[in-house]
Amino acid sequence: MEPKNQFKDPNLYSFVPETHPIMKEAKNAASSHSLTPNYPIGIVAASDNKAVCAAGNGNGYHEANIENEGHIEGCKRRFISQERVKSGGEKVKPGEEFDLCPGCHTDFHAESNLIRKATELGIDLKGTDVHMYGHYWCCGDCWDKMKKAGVGKVILPDTYKKFEDLEEVKKWAKECEEARQLKLK
């Protein structure tokens, strides 16, 4: 069995500068489409260097359950992880057991949301390249879904490593929220 986090290997991805036109669109897609303000991710499918579909991560579950019992910051998975540790078990590992929480489920990762949106719009993703901004890897489920949809390359910004750092993610989330607020004005 392959390791679950094998898709963190940078050799699987292509990289472009943040200033690349499609990567800029992916960055903008996070503020336009992400429903996860604490970890916004934008994704754009492109063909012949033109965007054909954009989406973001999330489904609003975490935000709707912030105050609910059995959740930590709206997340059941984080709560379950904490409870496991309290009872002497191991916490949920990053990148695993997404199915424990409807807000973390891979069906609502940016990649899945992109595939669903493209399908709804009648856009064929076969042969497209996907540009993703706001994260540094694709989970196995999303990787498999994209390959099944015919996506060619997955492209990350050349600054992707900053999204491994929680403080950098917080800065990005703040920047994204500020961009979202500007769009509302």
Give the separation between CA 40 and CA 134, rounded to whole angstroms: 6
Cβ atoms of 60 and 84 within 8 Å: the answer is: no
Chain mean pLDDT for the chain = 93
For 104-143, the pLDDT digits (tens) are 999 999 999 999 999 999 999 999 999 999 999 999 999 9
Q: Letter for the amino acid at 115?
A: I
User: What pTM was computed for the model?
Assistant: 0.92
Q: Is the pLDDT of residue 2 over 50?
A: no
CA–centroid distance for 29 within its chain: 11
Q: Residue 4: which pLDDT band, with cuts at 50, 70 and 90?
A: low
By CB atoms closer than 10 A (0-12, 13-18, 19+), residue 127 is exposed
Helices (H) and strands (E) in the chain, counts: 6, 5
Domain architecture of the chain: domains with CATH: 6-58+109-184 (3.40.140.10), 59-101 (no CATH)
Torsion 178-173-170-65 (CA) sign:
positive
Give the separation between CA 52 and CA 5, rounded to whole angstroms: 29
